[in-house]
């Protein structure tokens, strides 16, 4: 595998230094490091996908397990709702905030308010592009660029470097959409026979993915040989669109996805999806471990990278999918 790239939010500075250099996490609220009496706000992006819902379940379950009083807010895909939720958590004087940011930019003011209030912010699954990296304590996330590269390299090997591709992008401005596109585009650029016919947002949800795929099929039905979706839900929507158009997904058109939820892996086992790169949503233990370390005065790296794997017909079967926790 190629060396991994740092998340987009760190690229404006020396990436290696930011990943490796720990920060002193000061200014935390008082109290011990156990869950007793701990109050944490969780500002979730939304519930647009099975992956997102699995992440919410993981964080809620871990809070309950540790006896943490969790204040939960679902932004319903709107950044203004998420910013308002963070401000509400600050007003409630929570001990820490977990934030899954909808988009990368626009966070400087509210994160400055959290820092001024002495409330550490732990980012999960997506990063932010801010002028001062001390505005958040740590980021717990996969390497989205590498995920896109893995898909592109798998497709190049599978097709001997010859494919005509439709790409279904995630929410515009979201870190995984930006980085998964970059990784994939960089991977296929090394193969002149791999052509990107169209690239359009399906907003990370199954209905929009199906709708966009139907429209793009109307333009490229006679030429498309592969569909790359930035998440499982859009891939499943693309499968529905292909079937409605009389094509066999997985045979007539290869389908590739990122996330690794049960529905997509089941479709892989059944031959309707060909390749799925994992992106783990079960970040509850990681997030609360980070909060406990911060409160005990430990230092954390700016980016705690979650390692993912690739699934295809060679390493995935029905028993594996049945035991998948999400």
pLDDT at 3 over 80: no
pLDDT at 143 over 90: yes
Q: What is the tally of structural domains in the chain?
A: 2
DSSP β-bridge partners for residue 35: none
In a domain, 2, yes or no: no
**pLDDT of 32:** 38
**pLDDT of 2:** 33
The mean predicted confidence, pLDDT, of the chain is 90
Does 190 share its domain with 214? yes
Mean pLDDT of 145-152: 98
d(CA 107, CA 109): 6
**pLDDT of 43:** 98
DSSP β-bridge partners for residue 71: 41
**pLDDT of 325:** 86
Structure tokens at 146: 């590498």
List the domain range (segments joined by +) for residue 66. 8-141+281-304
Reported as a single tens digit per residue, the pLDDT across 98-114 is 999 999 999 999 999 99
Does 89 share its domain with 186? no
pLDDT at 25 over 80: no
In a domain, 249, yes or no: yes
Reported as a single tens digit per residue, the pLDDT across 180-205 is 999 999 999 999 999 999 999 999 99
In a domain, 292, yes or no: yes
d(CA 228, CA 232): 10
Does 134 share its domain with 211? no
In a domain, 3, yes or no: no
- The better pLDDT of the pair 168, 299 is held by 168
What sections of the chain are H helices per DSSP? 15-20, 50-66, 79-91, 108-116, 144-158, 175-189, 206-220, 232-244, 262-269, 284-295, 318-322
In a domain, 1, yes or no: no
Burial class (CB in 10 A: 0-12, 13-18, 19+), 38: buried
**pLDDT of 33:** 41
Does 126 share its domain with 152? no
Does 12 share its domain with 96? yes
Does 153 share its domain with 260? yes
> Within 13 Å and on the Cβ side, how many CA atoms surround 88?
14
Mean pLDDT of 33-43: 81
CB 114 within 8 A of CB 94: no
d(CA 218, CA 274): 23
In a domain, 36, yes or no: yes
Does 152 share its domain with 267? yes
CB 276 within 8 A of CB 232: yes
Does 83 share its domain with 216? no
DSSP letter for each residue of 263-294: HHHHHHHTTS--EEEE-----HHHHHHHHHHH
Does 87 share its domain with 182? no
CA 189 to chain centre: 23
> Angle 19-20-26 (CA atoms, 0-180°, nearest 5)?
90
Quickly state the pLDDT bin for 48 (edges 50, 70, 90): confident
In a domain, 83, yes or no: yes
Parallel, antiparallel, or unpaired for β 22-23 and 300-301?
Answer: antiparallel
Mean pLDDT of 141-156: 98
Q: What is the CATH number of the domain that holds 24?
A: 3.40.50.2300
Does 97 share its domain with 23? yes
Does 137 share its domain with 148? no
């Amino acid at each position: 595998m190629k060396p991994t790239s740092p998340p987009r939010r760190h690229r404006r500075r020396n990436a290696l230094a930011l990943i490796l250099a720990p920060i002193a996490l000061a200014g935390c609220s008082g109290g011990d490091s156990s869950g007793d009496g701990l109050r944490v706000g969780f500002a979730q992006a939304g519930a647009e996908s099975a992956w997102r819902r699995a992440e919410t379940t993981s964080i809620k379950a871990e809070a309950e397990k540790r006896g943490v009083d969790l204040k939960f807010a679902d932004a319903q895909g709107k950044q203004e709702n998420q910013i308002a939720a963070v401000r509400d958590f600050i007003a409630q004087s929570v001990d820490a905030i977990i934030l899954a940011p909808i988009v990368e930019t626009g966070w400087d003011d509210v994160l400055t308010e959290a820092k001024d209030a002495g409330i550490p912010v732990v980012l999960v699954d997506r990063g932010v592009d801010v002028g001062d990296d001390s505005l958040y304590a740590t980021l717990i996330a996969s390497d989205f660029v590498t995920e896109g590269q893995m898909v592109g390299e798998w497709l190049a090997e599978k097709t001997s470097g010859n494919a005509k591709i439709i790409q279904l992008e995630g929410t515009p401005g979201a870190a995984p959409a930006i980085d998964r596109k970059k990784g994939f585009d960089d991977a296929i650029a090394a193969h002149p026979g791999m052509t990107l016919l169209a690239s359009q947002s399906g907003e990370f949800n199954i209905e929009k993915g199906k709708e966009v795929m139907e429209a793009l099929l109307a333009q490229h039905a006679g030429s498309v040989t592969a569909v790359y979706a930035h998440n499982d839900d859009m891939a499943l929507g693309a499968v529905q669109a292909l079937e409605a158009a009389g094509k066999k997904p997985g045979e007539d058109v290869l389908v590739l996805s990122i996330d690794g939820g049960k529905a997509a892996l089941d479709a892989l086992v059944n031959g309707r999806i060909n390749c799925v790169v994992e992106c783990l949503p079960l970040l509850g233990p990681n997030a609360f471990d980070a909060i406990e370390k911060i409160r005990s005065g430990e230092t954390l790296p700016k980016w705690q990278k979650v390692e993912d794997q690739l699934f295809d017909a060679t390493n995935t079967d029905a028993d594996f999918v049945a035991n998948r926790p999400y």
